[in-house]
């Protein structure tokens, strides 16, 4: 049984997730798990990091597959007993020129970005050790102001919102999108925005649960906009490198001493209910 500190990053064979793994290998005194849905890509990423002198471990993890998540949970539980850092990074985004019907885009995006993040959290949160840190990767798109409807903003921003009620809101968006009513119902025209606002709202609900748990493990959950980064998700159009995009997530994983906050790529806390900073 390993007594090392353990860090896990989902969806980390490329992009910001890969850069977060690299940064943790540099700065975290413990074992770092690079996880990916595709074994070949994940192992290739690990080998690339080993060539740079780092030593992350790989484990297959498909965040949309309950059996994959359960297998990973049991592996970590049996080998290490606990986790000290969890970075929920895995996500998708349809391109602006995507031809899939909006209802399909909504269903897939919410399934991966919101419900899979929730699935991993529910599986791994029982393994979090005292003083563990959870970092949920969101976006500037995850700011509450991106939802057009005042009524929906009030519901999503409710300080007593429960996760089951948040789930219902995410499910309603998918249904509205399939019924061609997403815009008229006040969700806007971006499934990615709704998914990331959902991740932000989920973060705050998770922190409330941790704050009230007994015995209290002093766990911090924060959500971060890593910046507009040059990745496949942005079609390589960002203005930050992946290493720059990893800075704020790494700050939250290794240094920050606050809980339940929405954090900008410069590591500054941003009012989720107010206006977004002008520079994305």
Stronger pLDDT, 242 or 180, i.e. the higher one: 180
Residue 275 lies in a domain: no
Residue 151 lies in a domain: no
Query: Cα-atom radius of gyration of the chain, to the nearest Å?
Result: 18
Structural domain span for residue 87 = 6-98+112-141+195-270
Q: Report d(CA 38, CA 61) in Å as an integer.
A: 8
Residue 218 lies in a domain: yes
Residue 21 lies in a domain: yes
For 19-49, how does the pLDDT look when each residue is reduced to its tens digit (9 = 90+)? 999 999 999 999 999 999 999 999 999 999 9
Q: In what side-by-side order are the strands of the sheet with 83-88?
A: 57-60, 31-36, 6-9, 83-88, 128-137, 220-224, 262-263, 269-270
As a whole number, mean pLDDT of residues 238-246 equals: 81
Cβ proximity of 238 and 222 under 8 Å: no
Residue 155 lies in a domain: no
User: What is the CA 211 to chain-centroid distance, rounded?
Assistant: 20
Number of Cβ atoms within 10 Å of the Cβ of 257: 6
Residue 87 lies in a domain: yes
Residue 50 above 70 pLDDT? yes
Question: What's the CATH code of the domain at 42?
Answer: 3.40.50.720
Residue 164 lies in a domain: no
75 is catalytic: no
Q: Which of 18, 114, 192, 262 is catalytic?
A: 192
pLDDT confidence bin for 96, thresholds 50/70/90: confident
Residue 12 lies in a domain: yes
pLDDT confidence bin for 240, thresholds 50/70/90: confident
pLDDT confidence bin for 228, thresholds 50/70/90: confident
Q: Report d(CA 132, CA 220) in Å as an integer.
A: 7
In the chain, the number of structural domains is 1
């Amino acid at each position: 049984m390993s007594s090392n500190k353990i860090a896990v990053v989902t969806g980390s064979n490329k992009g910001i997730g890969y850069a977060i793994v690299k940064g943790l290998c540099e700065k975290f005194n413990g074992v770092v798990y690079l996880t990916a849905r595709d074994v070949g890509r994940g192992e290739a990423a690990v080998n690339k990091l080993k060539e740079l002198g780092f030593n992350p471990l790989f484990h297959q993890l498909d965040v949309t597959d309950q059996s994959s998540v359960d297998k990973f949970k049991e592996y970590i539980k049996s080998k290490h007993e606990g986790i000290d850092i969890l970075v929920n990074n895995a996500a998708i985004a349809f391109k602006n020129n995507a031809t899939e019907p909006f209802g399909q885009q909504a269903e897939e995006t919410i399934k991966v970005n919101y419900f899979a993040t929730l699935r991993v959290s529910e599986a791994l949160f029982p393994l979090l050790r005292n003083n563990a840190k959870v970092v949920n990767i969101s976006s500037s798109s995850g700011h509450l102001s991106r939802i057009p409807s005042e009524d929906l903003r009030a519901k999503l921003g409710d300080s007593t919102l429960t996760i089951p009620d948040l789930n219902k809101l995410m499910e309603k968006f998918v249904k509205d999108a399939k019924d061609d009513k997403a815009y008229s119902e006040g969700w806007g025209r971006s499934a990615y925005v709704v998914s990331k606002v959902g991740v932000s709202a989920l973060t705050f609900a998770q922190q409330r649960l941790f704050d009230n748990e007994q015995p209290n493990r002093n766990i911090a959950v924060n959500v971060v906009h890593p910046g507009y980064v040059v990745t496949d998700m942005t079609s390589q159009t960002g203005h930050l490198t992946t290493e720059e995009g990893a800075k704020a997530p790494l700050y939250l994983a290794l240094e920050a001493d606050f809980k339940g906050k929405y954090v900008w790529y410069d590591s500054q806390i941003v009012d989720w209910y107010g206006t977004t900073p002008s520079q994305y």
